[in-house]
């Protein structure tokens, strides 16, 4: 099992367009295994290869997490829908539903999608497969295939929601950074003692206390002028 790190927004690599896989080689199968293994470990609904740093057009979906059947189980991947070089043709009516993403944690947003898709993809045997997919899998596939073209669900959200999400994500990032720093300080204190902690803190900008300066006395005039 090879579990890769899921790239997090605002990592610029998530904006890149992925390349087609073409023929099914051992490297492509290895990439598929990495994507599926990472998806299993994350307990997510779906994952695209570029989310784990693989710039190939590969998508894996865990239908059981969405409580739906796998429309095309393959040998070794009975529990996952594995798509290589997928192509979607959207159809049906548009609707709005909430989406979340493993690469954009802590937030969700309403996104417009189509209720149906015609799906074409290459199987692990190198055969081209065509399926008609309805909701909710159609919405999931539109979300995951967006990743292959460098598009995140927040890019499809309204301007109001995107600004709101960006503020929330930045806040969560600051909180996470502060927690990590506090954990690091606690570890230094427990393992190396107060002296080492003071030394570490001195390298992080010194004391946080502001220097106090004595206000210069100004000249007095009128009634407040001191008499000699």
Q: What is the DSSP annotation of 102-139?
A: TTEEEEEEEEEEEEEEEEEEE-TTS-EEEEEEETTHHH
For the whole model, what pTM was predicted?
A: 0.75
Does a structural domain hold residue 228? no
d(CA 125, CA 220): 93
Within a domain: residue 221?
Answer: no
pLDDT given for residue 18 in this prediction: 97
C-alpha to C-alpha distance for 216 and 57, rounded to whole angstroms: 69
Let me know whether 30 and 138 are in one domain: yes
In the set 30, 78, 99, 144, the catalytic residue is 144
For residue 127, give the CATH number of its domain. 3.90.45.10
**Closest to 50 (Cα-Cα) out of 74, 17, 84, 27:** 17
Phi and psi (nearest 5°) for 107?
-135, 160
Asked whether residue 72 is domain-assigned, the answer is: yes
Residues 113 and 180 reside in one and the same domain: no
In the prediction, which pLDDT does 228 show?
Answer: 47
Q: How many domains does the chain have?
A: 2
Say whether 144 is catalytic.
yes
pLDDT, position 212: 47
Q: Residue 149: which region, alpha, beta or left (left: phi > 0; alpha: psi -120 to 50)?
A: alpha
Residues 138 and 84 in one domain: yes
Detail the DSSP E strand segments found in the chain.
46-48, 58-61, 81-101, 104-122, 128-134
Residue 123: closest CA among 76, 90, 91: 76
Check residue 69 and give its pLDDT.
94
Do residues 36 and 117 both lie within one domain?
yes
- Is 68 part of any domain? yes
Predicted confidence at residue 45, as pLDDT, reads 96
Q: Angle 32-36-42 (CA atoms, 0-180°, nearest 5)? A: 145
Which residues constitute the domain of residue 47?
A: 12-157
* Angstrom distance (rounded) from CA 46 to CA 136: 12
Q: Are residues 91 and 182 in the same domain?
A: no
For 20-75, write each residue's pLDDT tens digit: 999 999 999 999 999 999 999 999 999 999 999 999 999 999 999 989 999 999 99
Q: Which pLDDT score, from 0 to 100, does residue 105 have? A: 82
Predicted confidence at residue 49, as pLDDT, reads 98
- Asked whether residue 152 falls in the same domain as residue 65, the answer is yes
Is the CB of residue 87 less than 8 Å from the CB of residue 131? no
In a shared domain, residues 97 and 185: no
What's the confidence (pLDDT) of residue 149? 97
Residues of the chain short of pLDDT 70, as ranges, are: 1, 205-228
151 and 183 both lie in a single domain: no
Residues 49 and 82 in one domain: yes
């Amino acid at each position: 099992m090879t579990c890769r790190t899921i790239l997090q927004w605002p990592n610029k690599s998530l904006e890149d367009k992925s390349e087609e896989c073409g023929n099914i080689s051992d490297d492509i199968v290895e990439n598929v295994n990495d994507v599926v293994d990472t998806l299993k470990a994350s307990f997510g609904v779906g994952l695209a290869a570029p989310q784990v740093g693989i710039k190939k057009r590969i998508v894996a979906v865990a239908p059981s997490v969405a409580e739906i059947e796998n429309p095309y189980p393959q040998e070794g991947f009975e529990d996952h829908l594995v798509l290589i070089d997928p192509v979607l043709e959207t159809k049906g009516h548009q609707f709005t539903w909430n989406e979340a993403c493993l690469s954009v944690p802590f937030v969700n947003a309403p996104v417009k999608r189509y209720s149906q898709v015609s799906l074409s993809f290459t199987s692990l045997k190198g055969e081209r497969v065509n399926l008609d997919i309805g909701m909710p899998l159609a919405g999931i596939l539109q979300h995951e295939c967006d990743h292959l073209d460098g598009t995140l669900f927040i890019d499809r959200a309204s301007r109001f929601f995107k600004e709101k999400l960006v503020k929330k994500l930045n806040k969560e990032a600051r909180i996470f950074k502060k927690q990590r720093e506090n954990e690091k300080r606690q570890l230094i204190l427990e393992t190396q003692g107060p002296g080492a902690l003071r030394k570490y803190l001195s390298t992080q900008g010194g004391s946080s206390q502001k220097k106090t300066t004595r206000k210069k006395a100004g000249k007095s005039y009128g009634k407040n002028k001191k008499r000699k």
